[in-house]
Amino acid sequence: MSGLRLNMGREKSEMRVIIDKQAGFCPGVKQAIKTAEQRLNEGKKITALGSLIHNDREIGRLQEKGLHTVSQSLADDDEALKSLAGQEVLVRTHGIGAKVFERLHKSGIITLDGTCPTVKRVQKKVAEHHQRGEQIVIVGKKGHAEVIGLLGYCDGQGIVVEDSHDLGKIDASRPTLVVAQTTVGKGIFQALSEQVAARVIQAKIVDTTCRFISRRYEQIREFAASVDVLIFIGGRESSNSKVLFEICRAENARSYKIESAREIDPAWFEQASAVGITGGASTPVWQFEQVQQHILSLPR
């Protein structure tokens, strides 16, 4: 997507408004959205187990097409699950535990698995090592949907390490598998996994950070440095968006995070010749284009 130019008058130079070519859905989110849209376009009634992605505006667009969303906690209530019997339930990209899948199937629910392929590989790895009797350590955010799902492949016995304060929970005498929540920064994973390895008798460290996300860190850093003002579009609940925005702000002090064009302040663009628009892995291209047009329509 090429940058558009806004003529700011005879006494002012043109301002370019550029959409980051690397921005948009990650492959996992793209596939989950595609699955939902295909079924909805076929007239099927689809229910998402938990918010499909952390982007309220994209969820709103899918709801207009007929997508229904229920809390993931519903999967723990056998009586509540009966209300979904015979329906198609879409599992979000973060994935769910093995026992949750079993409960859905036993309830007569048709499961559409939207789990990110990268997350599924981590789930498999966790299950294999847990069955061998090894200790499972997950470097990630406590309470994050993906982490909760991963814990579901080691009977909830895994240890989540968010920072060095959590290292004391680890049994140093047990062989240990160390994996990452896929959206954790590679640097954070490397630092914490090395600390785990230094504490236990035997550690197998598997870097399960998402390569797509890791590449995005460097891409978005370069993009933020290339413009005068950066507009970052992302959901407030998205961990990925929070990390990416902090990278942008560290590189470019004139970085602003929004969820919609309504939040934009025209004063942000004073004396700017190049404005960049980017976002998280759950931000669709249509939102970038909408914000671009909004900025171009602002009075100068």
Q: Which residues are catalytic?
A: 146
Write down the residue that tokens 């899918």 correspond to.
Answer: 62
Q: How far apart are CA 300 and CA 294, in angstroms?
A: 13
**The token pair that represents 274 in the structure block:** 């190049």
Q: What is the DSSP letter of 170?
A: S
| CA torsion through residues 247, 252, 257, 260, sign | negative
> For residue 203, which phi and psi values (nearest 5 degrees)?
-130, 135
Element spanning 233, H or E: strand 229-233
Q: How far apart are CA 240 and CA 283, in angstroms?
A: 11
Q: What are phi and psi of 167, to 5 degrees?
A: -65, -25
- CA dist 209 → 169, 189, 242 (Å): 22, 8, 16
**Closest to 137 (Cα-Cα) out of 170, 165, 163, 164:** 170
Q: Which are the contacts of 199, defined by CB distance < 8 A and separation ≥ 6?
A: 167, 170, 172
